[in-house]
Structure 1
Amino acid sequence: MDLKPLEELFERRVNHCCNREVGMRNLWMCVLAGIMLTSVGPAKAADDLKGFELDSSFDEAQRNAGVNGWSLQPLSSELPHQWVVRDTNLRLFVCEDRVASILTLQSGGLDDFAALVMQRQIEMGDPRTQIVSFMAGPKRISTITSRFSDAVGREISVQLTSIAGAPSISTNYASNTRCPEEK
């Protein structure tokens, strides 16, 4: 990932804060943003979809998997449209013979999630964020989901999930293709 655009944006924001009388609070917010921008390491791998593309055909996805030594396996018989790309961190959702979404899974906690969301916010604007927490038997499940949309209607959702205190991060890339209702 080329960090030059992020560095230029940071420099513009710091210059804006320093060249105008905007107060110490805003200056510290700019400094904090700069510190966070320097730690976008986990975010670098977020867009590594390993050659899979939204709206490509299922045959193209199978070819890409085969060329790279992976295989596509159904997630379960109850979820016939969801596929696991073996030996990767990817999951595919296929609808009408098209890859409708690509999900990446990665380890990480709140700091990694914040860096990913901040990177997306710089690139795509403010997200829609939803926070949910509930008990499932004796375990607490909590999620923070930040959703971003691009100009052509595709959505990127970054989610921090904690199940009984064990965090993980997923990023879902979804096309604007709508699947027909299951019968």
Structure 2
Amino acid sequence: MNTPAHLIFGAAAFARPGAPWVTAAALAGGLAPDCSLYLMACWHLFVLGTDPQTVFGQLYFSDSWMRVFRVDNSFVLWGIGLGVALWLRSGWAIAFTGAALLHLAFDFPLHHDDGRPHFWPISDWVFESPYSYWDRMHHGQFVGLIEVGICLILLGYLGYRFKGTMARIMIAIGVITQIVPGLMWSAIF
């Protein structure tokens, strides 16, 4: 799934009105498994000036990048983290690790040839799903529409639960992240 969708799903599942640390942790957990990708890609694209085709066509699939992805995309490691958070009864840590696990649960079935080793350190196996959230060769156009539709419903749910001005601004930004790319690509193609 697209990263904004992960934040929306994480917030819908774990954010709590009146608990800003829990809500922030839910958003951070929804983002956490993608952070290494953003950091490494931005370093190569904007600091080193590496060609985007090299970054996303070669480096993304390289052993060195997969060694990083297997850590921050591990069901095993995030599951241990959630277990510790539950043991400690820490609301923010449960929201953080729970949202990260939710992120992985939706990434796992929606990556065809760009998946990650989600079961490290037990295994380096990568699931090759018949579905993709972006690749039209693997139903990406339909999966993407479903993703946007569910995100808009979840944003409506969040709007019902959160009444503050800052929350409404964040929800509006969420709506924009879901609608604008579709309109932009429709205009281009």
Q: TM-score range by the shorter chain?
A: under 0.3
Structure index of larger Rg:
1
Q: Which has the higher strand share?
A: 1
- TM-score (normalizing by structure 1): 0.28
- TM-score (normalizing by structure 2): 0.27
Q: Which has the higher helix share?
A: 2
